[in-house]
Amino acid sequence: MKVRALTLAILAGLASSAVAADTVDPLKKAFIDDSEVKVQFRLRFEQADVDTVDKQDQTTIRTRLNYKTGDIYNFFALAEVDDVRSTDNEPLIADYEYTQINQAFIGYKAPAETLLKYGRQRILLDNQRFVGGVGFRQNEQTYDAFSVKNTAIENLTAYYSYVNNVNRIFPEGSGKESHTNETSLLNLNYKAGDIANITGYAYLIDNSNVAAFSTDTYGVRATGKLKLDAIKLSYEAEYAQQSEGGDNPTKYTADYYKLGAGIGFGAFGAKVGYEVLGSDDGAAGFITPLATLHAFNGWTDKFLFGGKGNWENGIVDTHVILTAKLAGLKLLAKYHKFESDYGDIDMGKEWGVAATYPFAKHYSVGVKYASFSGADAGYGFSNDTDKLWLTLQAKY
């Protein structure tokens, strides 16, 4: 809250100074001539059908207004406000009515190709498996943080942020909308051409509200592409180890690893993947409390586990992904087979399909459907579930 209040005060002060000194060229240039205004609308219908409760559906519309100043002595500012209106508030659907400052920060372009940001900001690291914005939901996850990004060394990007608050996807007054943190995020990425993109990271999460979310995670990730005439090959390999951090009362060590390979030919592509969020012999699992969880382990969100993204027995996810692009239409199909890392538990299977189509420059329409079934009975995720989304989006 201190970061938010201070950032808003700075933004207000800069804006009032610009109004009072309209004839001062640097201010006029930054706040008017070089400024950018963006508007986005996202209309969504979502339906959730779980076999133990009545079918639920909800329609929401999010309006997003984004304003960014131009540079003034290498400083700039950005403010972004979201508003979501809803036809209802269904417990199976995680979109809520709210009006909120999504981003509000001061940036500084320092020497040696260094970018500094202070305030509420979006943090998306790598594929968002560990740190992301949950951008699929109408209420995005953002961070009150100080961050620094440096690209002075060719092909190397060094990133660090200190986070003191995580603004989660839940509405004001729910008791879950924000978590106070003393968290450090370090990410070093080196690009050796298309053949190798290598990242090393250390994510030291210290959550003051939920001690069980506090973790120390260290890992390395490599991705790459290779083109052989008309055929495109790709790979993905990642390993990380996690232990308790901060005041987490559970002492444990758990591993994460992922292997993936892909092939593409013209407008068609296929990928296979094997991902393990490990378990410490059933005592605790490798968790990802800052991740964009909807993008992993199935679209029906059966394995959120209260925001941790794993349970004490771990998750093994074997999956296949098919893609195609036809006349501007983007098609995607996924199949997942889940089982536990510890305990030989069948955690079910899920298949899903999605299609998106951009049109008239500013607009896109999308449909997505996922179906989960087949898990061993007696667990919180074992109920068969079907979900449907219809989305219309406009960006200006």
pLDDT in tens, 184-200: 999 999 999 999 999 99
**pLDDT tens-place string over residues 20-60:** 544 568 899 999 999 999 999 999 999 999 998 999 999 99
Q: What is the CATH number of the domain that holds 97?
A: 2.40.160.10
Q: What is the pLDDT of residues 349-379, one digit of tens each?
A: 999 999 999 999 999 999 999 999 999 999 9
Domain of residue 369 covers 2-395
Number of Cβ within 10 Å of residue 259's Cβ equals 14
85: Cα within 13 Å, side-chain hemisphere: 4
Per-residue confidence band for 80, with pLDDT thresholds at 50, 70 and 90? very high
What mean pLDDT do residues 246-274 have?
A: 98
What pLDDT digit, counting tens, does each position of 265-291 carry? 999 999 999 999 999 999 999 999 999
The pTM of this model reads: 0.93
Query: How many whole angstroms separate alpha carbon 69 and alpha carbon 379?
Result: 51
Residue 206 corresponds to which amino acid? D
* Residue 344 exposure: Cα atoms within 13 Å on the Cβ side: 0
Task: Say what the alpha-carbon torsion angle 221, 227, 232, 235 is, to the nearest 10 degrees.
Answer: -20
- Chain centroid to Cα 7, Å, comes to 23
- Overall domain count for the chain: 1
C-alpha closest to that of 136 among 170, 95, 176, 98: 95
Phi/psi at 78 (5° precision): -140, 135
